[in-house]
């Protein structure tokens, strides 16, 4: 993450709104919640609350990740959704572009994660003290970027650890393109983090019916 915070000046993109929930497409480069300091006050939560004052936070996406993010519009909906995330009953799907040729065509990363304290907010793999973290992946296609091979991959996290997808892809030797924390050399030299929350499936707080919300991939 760079020291300069220049959040995108884009209108709020609402995917769905009803009496209990609000689903938006978060732009890359915008904090989910305010950071420490007045210069980090602009965030998706504040923008959402400008339009929907009753909106309540349920979960977060990294600043540089784009895509589907849900807010509750009542305290009961916030509790209902919060429990679904806590109990890992939601189904999240991301699309990423990673450096190199990711093989085989699908697999699972099972590597426990912990904060890298001297270098926080970075996270790292720690088999002794880390918290369980699981990510399924499925290759979509191989791509060419200026003569270098990259892979477009769909990621399905089973847990929700901080920076989980970014650290897991790096651990496989295929850092996510444009990642200012974990990518190096030409893999880092992209205009944004190539990670997008493509879809979120959960139970609606009013009635418990399964619903899926999607946001098209912008890269």
**Which position among 9, 42, 50, 62 bears the catalytic label?**
62
**Alpha carbon distance 61, 214 (integer Å):** 15
CA 161 to chain centroid: 10
In the residue annotation, 179 being an active-site residue is answered as no
**Alpha carbon distance 174, 170 (integer Å):** 5
Residue 116 CB coordination number (10 Å): 16
Residue 121 CB coordination number (10 Å): 11
**Alpha carbon distance 148, 208 (integer Å):** 46
Question: Among all residues, which ones are annotated catalytic?
Answer: 62
């Amino acid at each position: 993450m760079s020291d300069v915070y220049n959040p995108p000046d884009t209108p709020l993109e609402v995917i769905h709104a009803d009496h209990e929930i609000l689903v938006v497409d978060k732009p890359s480069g915008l904090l989910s919640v305010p950071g420490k300091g007045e210069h980090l006050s602009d965030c998706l939560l504040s923008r959402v609350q400008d339009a929907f004052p009753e909106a309540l936070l349920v979960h977060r996406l990294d600043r540089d990740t784009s895509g589907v993010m849900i807010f509750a519009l009542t305290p009961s909906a916030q509790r209902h959704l919060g429990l679904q995330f806590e109990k890992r009953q939601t189904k999240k799907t991301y699309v990423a572009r990673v450096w190199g040729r990711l093989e085989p065509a699908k697999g699972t990363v099972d590597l426990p994660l912990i904060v890298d304290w001297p270098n926080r907010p970075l996270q790292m793999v720690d088999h002794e003290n880390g918290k369980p973290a699981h990510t399924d992946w499925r290759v979509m296609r191989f791509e060419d970027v200026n003569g270098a091979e990259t892979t477009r991959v769909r990621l399905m996290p089973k847990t929700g650890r901080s920076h989980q997808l970014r650290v897991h892809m790096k651990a496989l030797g295929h850092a996510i393109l444009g990642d200012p924390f974990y990518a190096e050399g030409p893999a880092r030299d992209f205009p944004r983090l190539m990670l997008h929350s493509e879809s979120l499936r959960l139970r609606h707080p009013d009635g418990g019916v399964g619903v899926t919300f999607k946001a098209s991939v912008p890269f």
